[in-house]
Structure 1
């Protein structure tokens, strides 16, 4: 057999193997009801973000993503007997790696998309600041002081940068058409214990003594719930 003919046969054999491997891989994608090679957007209680999905066989899958949560809100309350106005600002930015198990992959109904998710998130920023002033001017004899003259309280709650465990349930890759699918997930992160810093200005400077009290009151606030919706684009048509 000539060398040229041998090379032709070898190339044909290699090409057939590649086609076979691609067909087997594509079949695995189709058989997994909850994971396809896809890229999508996320929105939920922990902010907005992006995620990449990939199957690991018929019953397992992988999600890798990141999210940002810029949160601002005005809060009306009281400090003792005094009405207050506060502005709450939170920044919660994370990257996550989740492994999913599809326990009912052979079901003929929607439960074939049910996934159990376990994994971790890396919080590269988890911090909230509450800026508080009295809502109304205060009179001291003949002198009336405006809220900004009385002072401002700054309360900062900070969770240190850390890897946090995650657990949750979801319904993944609910098909919209041959390329798009949506998912919904409910779970939560278990955070580290937060630290608190309190700082006052003007007549409120001495309120730093409340820092240990606030820190003690929130020391058990370590569970961050996550309700999340997403739409993903599959790289293969199904």
Structure 2
């Protein structure tokens, strides 16, 4: 009887070990809990909020919005130049996005992302002379020199591609999130309004558009936290 018992143990021990190993591996996989999650983030697109919806363990969708604005002053040329223009500019970052995330690995939060931005990014600037201008012993006031005001607008619809880290529906409720990618907003369209002696500069729009062309591929780097509801 003892020999038969030992024989059964010998035959079934490998299967018991295999079952225990599989159970251990299954337990190590972070639990998938579908539902909704919210995320707050900050980065090159501004400060934003996202809402995630689980579709499958490896697939989620989300919608979000971002907003940020920045003001500054730039000057053209040097103080010793005959004409020096000071530009008050305002950069407005605003967008609404719809994204789909795919998680190729079961045990990692790595994801591939594609989506679409409704893009409201805009750059405006108002240029005025920093000083009076002297030309052939004639002094022209700032008002006579004139002003140059402009606006740069981008394509409203911008496709997005990127990658990231953080699965809001696996493991703990609170997760660290990273997004890295770019959206294609095409080259900007610049409009200029000039007055006074600066009026001939109104045809410089295409030159400014050329200088801003690298912005058509707008880089996205976001860091944030998600919380499963």
The match for 2:55 is: 56
Structure 1 portions without partners, runs of 5+: 1-27, 107-111
**What root-mean-square deviation, in Å, do the aligned CA atoms of Structure 1 and Structure 2 show?**
2.9
Largest Rg, 1 or 2: 2
- Partners of 1:36 and 1:152 lie apart in 2 by 55
The match for 1:16 is: none
Query: Does 2:200 match 1:201?
Result: no
What do residues 173-232 of structure 1 show as CA deviations (whole Å, max 9, x unaligned)? 489x94322211111111133211111122212211212333344456411111111122
Structure 2 portions without partners, runs of 5+: 1-28
- Partners of 1:84 and 1:181 lie apart in 2 by 48
TM-score normalised by L of structure 2: 0.74
- Partners of 1:206 and 1:31 lie apart in 2 by 64
Query: Does 2:153 match 1:158?
Result: yes
Contact 2:168 2:227 in 1 (8 A): no
- Partners of 2:35 and 2:221 lie apart in 1 by 21
Contact 1:128 1:157 in 2 (8 A): yes
Q: How many residues align?
A: 197
2:109 to 109, 113, 117: 113
Instruction: Rate the CA distance shift 1:234–1:174 in 2: closer, same or farther, 3 A.
Output: closer
The match for 2:70 is: 71
- Partners of 1:46 and 1:220 lie apart in 2 by 16
- Partners of 2:210 and 2:86 lie apart in 1 by 23
The match for 2:38 is: 39
- Partners of 1:38 and 1:75 lie apart in 2 by 42
- Partners of 1:216 and 1:65 lie apart in 2 by 31
2:122 to 121, 127, 130: 127
